[in-house]
Each structure stands twice: as structure tokens, then as C-alpha cells.
Amino acid sequence: MPELKDKKKYFRIKTNNFHNLIEKIRNLSFIPEICITNKCNQNCLFCSADANSPNCYIKEDKLENIKNTLRDLRRVSDRIKITGGEPTVRKDFLEIIKHAKKLGFKKIIIESNGQNFSVFSFAQKTVEAGANYFFISFHGPNAKLQDSLTQSVSSFLRTKQGIINLKKLNQEVNINVVINAKNYKSLPKMIVLLNKLKVNSITLSFIIVSGKAEQNKKIIPKMTEVLPYLKKAVSAAVVRIRITHFPFCLLGELNKYNTWIKIQGKTIIDNPNFIITIEPKDMHDRKSESCKKCRYDKICFGLREGYVALYGFDELKPVAGPKIKDFETYYAQNIL
């Protein structure tokens, strides 16, 4: 297993030793994640996990270890997100969900590209096993675009059918669209399609420069070029929208959809080795000197470091006004 590049910067805490920390954040919609495989049936140009690369550090753990981790995570949350790679390709996928249900998780979220749910019986078995919320990646409004981004023939048709099947089974379906250089002009059309599919909500996530995107930098657009299309897309939506990985100063009125907000300077992540890690403040996030003058400074992540290496800080425009102390103030006052 190759080393994590920034391993020294991580503090590792075994899952049964972090209760105090979790206690502080458990009311803040903390949802632990468990990554059950590195395998994937797609090969997306922007995969941040780079799931199909032989150098990938993600691994597939034994069922028994996964069950133990689920048990630990159940002590701190009654919600769990099961992710990958593509979790549905794992042979014991249904058994893992059944075990999560047996442990008493009330919300069992499956993060998936949705292709395997195009087989109705599989979608049905997944729901019967206990899954009750689906976070589906879908990036293009037609086969040409979606299949070229996922490098998987028929992924458009299969994912679309998967969503239709999950909706037939009365499931809550949230769509994650990764905004990249190939699809940003199609965002309004994407929203029209998703409206028709009657999904419950849509997350529009700016691409992260890591994994495959690092080798394929043409896939990273400038944020300011994306914004007019993002605005059109949001105005076309009839369902709940979330926007992530853009700084506050660029989003303006769209900040009411912004879910990328710094919580007390730390981000809690669950790495693929099933150990909760705390990402030290600002590990991958970069601010310009002028950010210190901005009212959003304390709750804003700024830009990811890979993006800064490509485009610098020129797009950032510090926002005048009283400083926002923390995320609680932001939420309480619904500041724009």
C-alpha cells in the first residue's frame, strides 16, 4: 500500500477513542462514512479517489473488520454513509447493509454511481436490506457527455435507469454533479433532466484537484467562468440545491445554497483505513493575504491548493462587512 503523501500531517485516532470529539459535533449533521472497496465500474476523468489506479491507497477490508467498524461508528451516530470506489460492486454489499440495519442505524446512505441500480431487482434488494437514502453521482445530461466523463459505455442510460428504479421504490435520491471543464456549460440542461427524474435534491460540487484530475488539469475550469452557468442551473431547479467547494466571495447570492462551511477550523473525515482522522486546519486550503479583511474569513475554506497552483488567487474578492465569528453565527443569522 503506497504511503499517503501527507501522512505526517495527520493525527490518527482509533474509532473508539474519539467520543469526546464526536460529542461536540454530533448535532451538526455529522455522518460517519465507511469506505468498503476501492473497486469501481467507472473510470471518471476527475475521480478524486483515483479508484482504479494501481497506486491507489484505498483498499478493501475484510467483512469482519467492516462489521467491527460499523459497530464502533454506531456508538456515535445512528446514520452511516457507505461509500467506495463503487460500493455496489462488492459481493457482500447487501450483507454489509443488513448488518448496518441490525446494528440500529436509522439512516443508511449509499454513495454510488447508480449504474447497478438499473437492475430493478438489485435496487429492490438493496432497499429491502435497509438502505434508505441514495447519493448518486451523475455528471452529464446526455450519453455523449456522461459516458465520456465516466469512461464507461452506457453509464448515462444505466445511471438514469437506476435513479428511475430508486424513485419507483420511493427512495430519497440526492444527485451529486461534479462541475468540471467539460460539463459546466451543460449544467442548466442537467438540472432540467434531474427535475424530470424527480430527484429529491441536487449537490453541485466544484471539481477537486486530486486523484486523476491532477494528471488531467484541462478538466479544471476557472470558477469565474462557471458562475454564469451555475446561476442559470440553480434558477432552473425545482428541488433543493446545495453548492460546495466554492469560496463565499464568488457565490454572492448563491451563498444561501453553500454547504462548504468551516466548522471550528477542522474537518472530520473518515479515511479508507477505517480510522477517523482529523485534518489539521487549512491542510489543503489556501487563502490570499487579502482574505484577512474578508467578513467570511473565519468560516471560509478559500481555495484548494491544486486550484491555486493552476489559477492563483486573482478571482477572490474579499467581502466587506462585520466579521462572521463562526458557523453558528452564520447559520443563526442566515447572513448573505
Using CB under 6 A as the criterion, which residues of the chain lie in contact with ligand SF4 when the complex forms? 247-249, 287, 291, 294, 296-297, 300, 302, 316, 318-319
Pick between residue 21 and residue 263 the one whose CB is nearest to ligand SF4.
263
Alpha-carbon distances of 285 from 49, 64, 246, 247, rounded to whole Å? 18, 36, 12, 11
Pick between residue 236 and residue 335 the one whose CB is nearest to ligand SF4.
335
**Least CB distance to ligand SF4 at residue 325 (A):** 14
Write down the residue that cell numbers 455523449 correspond to. Answer: 144
Write down the residue that cell numbers 443569522 correspond to. Answer: 333
**Least CB distance to ligand SF4 at residue 278 (A):** 22
**Least CB distance to ligand SF4 at residue 213 (A):** 20
Pick between residue 212 and residue 287 the one whose CB is nearest to ligand SF4.
287
What DSSP letter does each residue of 146-177 carry, written as one string? HHHHHT-TTHHHHHHHHHHHHHHTT-EEEEEE
Pick between residue 65 and residue 290 the one whose CB is nearest to ligand SF4.
290
**Least CB distance to ligand SF4 at residue 246 (A):** 9
What DSSP letter does each residue of 174-211 carry, written as one string? EEEEEE-TTTGGGHHHHHHHHHHTT-SEEEEEEPPSST
Pick between residue 164 and residue 294 the one whose CB is nearest to ligand SF4.
294
Distance of CA 267 to the CA centre of its chain: 13
Compute the CA torsion angle 224, 226, 232, 235 (nearest 10 deg): -80
What DSSP letter does each residue of 109-137 carry, written as one string? EEEE-SGGGGSHHHHHHHHHHT--EEEEE
The CA radius of gyration of the chain, in Å to the nearest whole number, is 20
**Least CB distance to ligand SF4 at residue 113 (A):** 31
CA–CA separation, 104 vs 42, rounded Å?
32
Pick between residue 270 and residue 297 the one whose CB is nearest to ligand SF4.
297
**Least CB distance to ligand SF4 at residue 282 (A):** 12
